Copies of this chain bind each other. A is one copy, B any other.
Amino acid sequence: GRAYAIASIPGDGIGVDVTREARKVLDRAADRHGFALRWTEFDWSCERYTRTGSMMPEDGIDRLAEFDGILLGAVGFPGVPDHVSLWGLLIPVRRAFAQYVNLRPVRLLPGTTSALAGRTVDELEMVIVRENSEGEYSEIGGRHNTGQPSEFVLQTSVFTRVGVERIIRYAFELARTRAGRVCSATKSNGLIHSMPYWDEIFTEIAAGYPDVHSEQMHVDALAARMVQRPDLLDVVVASNLFGDILSDLAAAVTGGLGMAPSGNINPPGEHPSMFEAVHGSAPDIAGKGIANPVAQILAGAMLLEHLGQLDAARAVHAAVEKVLAEGAVATPDLGGTATTAELGSAVADAV
């Protein structure tokens, strides 16, 4: 069978705990489906930063470039400012490898209940397509009149034609393989330069997909809809910041952040793609064996799918669903008493 070179970056906090379980499950799936995953683990993390002054080595990006895929745990730890840890690892990887799609499928899994009253499994199934390379997350800006009463800070968002077009096009293509509906998050009434531009390009591209139902909503109203009528949503396309907020929210209305995977995808496949749970490093529960590994296991399934190993990916999904539906092995957030490792092993055994 084929062998894939996979980089694993467990990172910080529970990133380490859940990545261990995801590897366990993925190795089992590879075994069963006749291929191999050759793992290389990197200790890039806040711990490394504290020791060496940088989150990853100078040639970090070059070293990752040769891999077929990357599995990332989580980044961030108290004492290291977030803008250091994230901009020293997660965000440079996303950008260097033009992982311009952040794909966040959200689904109510069997055996879990939605935070929303009376919503069933088939009403909670959507995917957030988040722009992942530009927009509001920008290094342009700074502080002026420092220390004076007139002190102020500027922060500039950047929206390029190339960047906006490619993410919106991706969303429409994806919608064709699904329920055929795209909803775009805007805020053109408040952000009068960036969002009208986003909307203009959305309208242009939508015209090329007459078979797809397209809609634009202000992000505030869209957030409200996620809570009130999530059944109306299929593909949601959004800028970097809006996609970040909406995907956490979408995860919360379904099974919670413990269940939400995410892919940082370079669609042309010229560079490696990176998969991670939506949740963060949760330092307060790190190493305690109580973190829910499902999100990271499902991120692993997205990695398998990306590698073209569709049967193996499906097997991982089925195993997660089976274990959750049985309910005998569940971490505290799911109302059980199982450890991270017990849930990981149960899923691996079910593969």
Binding site for B on A (CB under 8 A): 76, 81-83, 85-87, 113-118, 136-137, 139-143, 149-162, 187-197, 219-221, 223-225, 227-228, 240-241, 244-245, 247-249, 251-253, 256-257, 280
Contact = CB atoms under 8 A, between A and B. Distances in A.
A157 B154 contact: yes
A239 B151 CA distance: 17
A85 to B, nearest CB: 8
Contacts of A253: 227
A200 to B, nearest CB: 10
A276 to B, nearest CB: 14
A186 to B, nearest CB: 9
Contact of A223 (B114, B137, B189, B249): B249
Contacts of A137: 190-192
25 contacts: A81-B196, A82-B188, A86-B190, A113-B117, A117-B118, A137-B190, A140-B154, A141-B157, A141-B192, A151-B160, A152-B159, A152-B160, A153-B160, A154-B157, A155-B194, A156-B157, A157-B157, A191-B241, A219-B245, A220-B245, A220-B247, A223-B223, A223-B245, A224-B248, A228-B252
A318 to B, nearest CB: 27
Given A189-B76, A245-B219, A153 B197 contact: yes
A82 B199 CA distance: 12
A118 B117 CA distance: 7
A333 to B, nearest CB: 10
A241 B159 contact: no
A189 B86 contact: yes
B153 A193 contact: yes
Contacts of A196: 81, 83
A83 B159 contact: no
A49 to B, nearest CB: 14
A152 B158 CA distance: 7
A191 B91 CA distance: 12
B227 A227 contact: yes
Contact of A116 (B115, B136, B190, B245): B115
Which 5 A-B residue pairs are closest in the complex by CB-CB distance?
A141-B193, A82-B189, A224-B252, A220-B248, A155-B194
Given A190-B241, A220-B249, A225-B252, 17 more contacts: A82-B189, A114-B117, A115-B228, A116-B227, A117-B117, A117-B118, A141-B157, A143-B197, A151-B160, A152-B161, A155-B157, A155-B159, A155-B194, A190-B240, A220-B245, A220-B247, A227-B252
Contacts of A161: 149-152
A226 to B, nearest CB: 8
Given A143-B193, A153-B194, A192-B87, A249 B249 contact: yes
